[in-house]
Chains A and B, each alone.
Chain A
């Protein structure tokens, strides 16, 4: 972007969030992912003649929870509309959605822009979040020129969360998307699985010269199934648009697909003429009425959300703002942190746990592309390991070695310490004996040291540590060595 000084990007996101209900939004069919094609589509999902939709109340509760969590207006009366268009994976020829009176309007989330402790807060406002049904899937592979249709997904409940166009970089867009992703998982209303399409982000991207007040023509980037791809897709699209305009071209209103293999976006269809979806109120469904007392009960049921949790970590554990926000950025990370700390009992050290979770563990998970919930070192084993650090059984260096062994599946930290004999030598008498033996073997070096060659101190440390097979407590070793060299000198001076 540095080559594009003088330009700014304007980004808004539409996030399709599949709600984690047991059954579909308008039928009793199951919503589980990965079933045999068309095995989870009943007559209602197939759009057979004569069938009627019946609203799943759980989807309403989940949508309302989201609205409450982002401080939005949750409508006590909302309505369903039909969005009419023909497509083979849209069985009825219309999608039941909410246009005129969505269940959630307004609201905002706060994101951190920038890295580490230099990050600054920015508020991103939401336009709305409405309930709708998902479409099926068209399968273009494996059908030799024809297209297969899997309607298992048809009728899965969604909330489409629409932001205001208030983000100005790919990084901000990712921060916003991550925040929404965290929220829906904290609320337990979405499994958040981007690969399986449970959380689908479309980005509306336009650019304009800095200082311009009018928005540029936007494109909609689809098919982004990870945060990394979201960032790359938006960056690519910003650069493409700027270069296009600088070369004298004009951005066309288009829907573009991101191709992660080529790391580029390409045109899927133009939208120059606005699509006419012929929305009208769905006559098969009554307005959705939420009683005020029901809404209040739902509000009272809200769990602790990321911002509140991060504030508590700072205040209660004395963690830095940055560590707190990293730990709370995903529900499972926060849960892992809290479980580890709890498992350590009275010896729990929040800063130590935070360092390990955001440091060693995060790096290893990242390296192997694993979710924290699938960590080969679960919270109770990390707790056991850190207890051995706290009680000085392990040095930090040995702790890392044990961590790697636990990760590799060699057993529990205590078992590995035992098996490998990694227990730190903290017996002062034993250390004194080793120090005494080493010094006795090297009288010449002792003399040089005493004559002022301070650098030899490290030489002695190395020899003693080698003799101790690395297990001597470093601090104790230092202390013993210092006093021994000193006392030897005194003796020598006699």
Chain B
């Protein structure tokens, strides 16, 4: 039946017409997962039994005449979302087999919509990383090239969707963790406006930057998924009490007259020539669809990188203090005293990158450094937001690269975290300003996918999705599937 080649809309139609059941659909994707994930390592936890139960429940609801865009649709969760009854690891030895006694708000919503979770995907530990190599459960491979990283931190979700092990997956994005792996894996990803999707039950990395979102094949699929996830949540004080528009209905907003801002500074230093060329091709395509290109100034990318690597670790150092070996998670053997319990539990439980960021953050918040680091970083953050606001006076959407390069080789940056941090230079400013951003596939360079980033003012997800949708109506980059994953699994 090649379910893995269908859009969510097609799957919904098939389920509604009873052409196939949710169980058949689920079994088909479980088979793909069983056949392929051994090589990819995109899942930390697979939940076939729960998936079949959920599928049967969906079939009952479908049989009762119920219909819904996600009813019976398989998906995967990044393993940062808490799920009662299924362990949540954040790819850390620290959490190990910890099982949350509650569901993340996002999970509650998806479960209520009847979506069928197939498992929880690999990621960089506590969402800290850009390659998915910082996982206690091992690195994830890029389906397009097993010697390449899938990007991170939502690398497992990106790889699973790229290999069509699931039609769609959740992710989280603190500095680019949805957009960059989506770009590296040749799929579509959206990081909504900060506050659009509840953070309740999404394990915190950097609270003022974290935002849940979607990785899927197309903008249209992402619109369906985001619709179910978005909205105000009384359990998250920072979630926005802003009405959620009908993203699917608004996919066909007119392109004519749309002003696309292209930041001059993003196309000068450090950007791969071939990535720049693919983005230029995409911009030409959008112009052909009626949009106009406007040069804008966003001079702050290097500043944003510096600010991010102070603010995010500062918040992380505090957020991760609760992992102390006292109440849950990893606890060292035979602690001699309280300090020994803390030191060894945390040294054993956290990986190197997490420890590095906790130390950076602790330092940045320390007396005598706080003003020089944290306070200045917050000032820089306000300046970055102000520059975006000025830019949006001249354009409706900003387009540019997601990352300076295509996916790099596994192990290429593992000795040098600073070069790894540069991967996020175009995505981080968006998180600092709290804006929505997307990544859409726009071609290949050296056999690896290239992504283009679209950025909008706060709460303009529907416009971003619409621009991406128009582009995808006229191109087929998003429909490309790595050779090894194209065929049906029987």
Contact = CB atoms under 8 A, between A and B. Distances in A.
Contacts of A82: 318
A94 B367 CA distance: 16
B367 A276 contact: yes
A274 B374 CA distance: 20
A39 B90 CA distance: 28
Contacts of A280: 314-315, 318, 365, 370, 374
Interface of A: 43, 46-55, 82, 84, 86, 88, 91-94, 149, 274, 276, 278-280, 283-286
Contact of B318 (A51, A52, A84, A91): A84
B237 A88 contact: no
A49 B238 CA distance: 17
A278 B95 contact: no
B201 A93 contact: no
B201 A91 contact: no
Contacts of B324: 86, 88, 93
B101 A284 contact: no
A278 B201 contact: no
B362 A278 contact: yes
Nearest to B81: A50
B202 A50 contact: yes
Interface in B48-85: 81-82
A49 B237 contact: no
B5 to A, nearest CB: 35
Interface string B197-222: 00111111011100000000000000
Given A280-B365, A283-B238, A50 B322 contact: no
B139 to A, nearest CB: 23
Interface in B312-332: 314-315, 317-318, 320-324, 326-328
Given A46-B327, A48-B100, A88-B326, A53 B318 contact: no
Most B CB contacts (10 A, CB to CB) among A43, A50, A86 go to A50
9 contacts: A49-B204, A54-B235, A86-B321, A86-B324, A91-B327, A149-B326, A283-B315, A285-B238, A286-B237
Given A48-B328, A92-B322, A286-B237, 5 more contacts: A46-B327, A49-B328, A52-B200, A93-B324, A284-B207
A86 B237 contact: no
Contacts of A48: 100-102, 322, 327-328
B321 A50 contact: no
A93 B318 contact: yes
Given A48-B328, A86-B342, A280-B370, A55 B237 contact: yes
Contacts of A46: 327
Interface residues of B, number: 44
B365 A50 contact: no
A49 B203 contact: yes
A56 to B, nearest CB: 12
Q: Closest 6 interchain pairs by CB?
A: A93-B321, A283-B208, A278-B365, A283-B207, A47-B322, A50-B201
B458 to A, nearest CB: 15
A50 B82 contact: yes
Contacts of B370: 278-280
Interface in B331-373: 338, 342, 362, 365-367, 370
A93 B314 CA distance: 14
Contacts of A86: 321, 324, 342
B327 to A, nearest CB: 6
A50 B204 contact: yes
A308 to B, nearest CB: 38
A274 B237 contact: no
B236 interface: yes
A278 B360 CA distance: 13
B104 interface: yes
B485 interface: no
A52 B237 contact: yes
Among B200, B314, B320, B322, the most chain A Cβ lie within 10 Å of the Cβ of B322
Nearest to B362: A278
Contacts of B322: 47-49, 91-93
A283 B100 CA distance: 23
A54 B234 contact: yes
Most buried by B among A51, A53, A94: A51
B101 A43 contact: yes
Contacts of B180: none
B147 to A, nearest CB: 34
Nearest to B210: A283
B309 interface: no
Contacts of B314: 280
A86 B324 CA distance: 8
Contacts of B342: 86
B59 to A, nearest CB: 31
Contact of A50 (B200, B320, B366, B367): B200
A51 B204 CA distance: 9
Nearest to A277: B367
Nearest to B341: A88
Q: Which of A48, A55, A286 has the most CB of B within 10 A?
A: A48
B79 to A, nearest CB: 12
A479 B235 CA distance: 81
A274 B367 contact: yes
Contact of B237 (A47, A54, A84): A54
A94 B374 contact: no
A88 B203 CA distance: 21
A192 B407 CA distance: 63
Contacts of B82: 49-50
A278 B237 contact: no
A46 B324 CA distance: 12
Contacts of A283: 206-208, 238, 315
Contacts of B238: 52, 283-286
Nearest to A85: B321
Interface in B168-210: 199-204, 206-208
Given A82-B318, A284-B207, A50 B237 contact: no
Contacts of A55: 237
B410 to A, nearest CB: 28
Contacts of B203: 49-50
A278 B98 CA distance: 29
Contacts of A54: 234-237
Nearest to B328: A48
Given A49-B88, A49-B95, A50-B104, A94 B321 contact: yes
B96 to A, nearest CB: 12
A149 B374 CA distance: 34
A86 B318 CA distance: 10
B366 A278 contact: yes
A306 B88 CA distance: 55
A276 B100 CA distance: 32
A93 B318 CA distance: 7
A99 to B, nearest CB: 11
Contacts of A149: 326
Interface in B92-142: 95, 98, 100-102, 104
